[in-house]
Amino acid sequence: MTVKSLVSCLLPAFLLGAILVSVSSALLARAEKSRDSGQAAILAVLAAQQSDWNKGDIRGFMEGYWKSSELTFAGTRGFTRGWQPVMARYERSYADKAAMGTLDFSELEIRQLGPDAALVLGKWHLERQAGDLGGIFTLVFQKFPEGWRIIHDHTTQSPPETK
């Protein structure tokens, strides 16, 4: 085999490989950008929830949730299904600003599950005159035309610290 015939055989394979690498790099860059923008949007939802809570605005806080009968909340009292029942649960548990206290989210971890879904782990803490509360949560977010919303919330309260 001559060098010329070898080059003519290998050149198409080399060009195809270069094109595949280029396309793969572009797709990875697009996926990375999408992941970063999804994480930023999710963090914005959580920041708005924290702000609304700290203003005593449960309805504003609930805007971070999927307004659907299929929304689920899992807590120490079991499951609550549907946006309106979850809203009623919050209103019963936190009847006024004093009961709501000041909310802080921390140790947030966002795991993108796909272009339209993410898992968020974190800690919550309420500072209140009646006594602080805190615990951990797992949220499942889904991207809708109106933005990212929580479709499932599993929140647990840590037992009170003993001194």
pLDDT in tens, 1-37: 665 665 565 556 565 555 655 555 554 445 455 457 8
More confident residue, 19 or 117: 117
Pick from 16-20, 63-67, 92-96, 150-154: least confident: 16-20
- CB neighbours (10 Å) of residue 80? 19
- Res 3: pLDDT: 58
Q: Are 136 and 122 in contact (CB under 8 A)?
A: yes
- Res 1: pLDDT: 64
What's the N-to-C CA distance of the chain in angstroms?
84
Report the amino acid identity of residue 15.
L
| Bridge partners, 144 (sequence order) | 147
Q: Percent of the chain at pLDDT above 70?
A: 76
- Res 159: pLDDT: 74
Question: Above 50 in pLDDT, residue 87?
Answer: yes
Give me the mean pLDDT over the 48-63 stretch.
Answer: 97
Which runs of E-coded beta strand occur in the chain? 72-75, 78-81, 102-114, 117-127, 133-144, 147-157
H-type alpha helices, 55-146: 58-61, 83-93, 97-100
- Res 111: pLDDT: 97
- Res 37: pLDDT: 81
CB under 8 Å to 152, separation ≥6 — which residues? 71, 72, 73, 74, 139, 140
The whole-angstrom separation of Cα 36 and Cα 57 is 29
> Which domains are seen in the chain, by residue range?
3-157 (3.10.450.50)
The pTM (predicted TM-score) of the whole model is 0.77
- CB neighbours (10 Å) of residue 149? 21
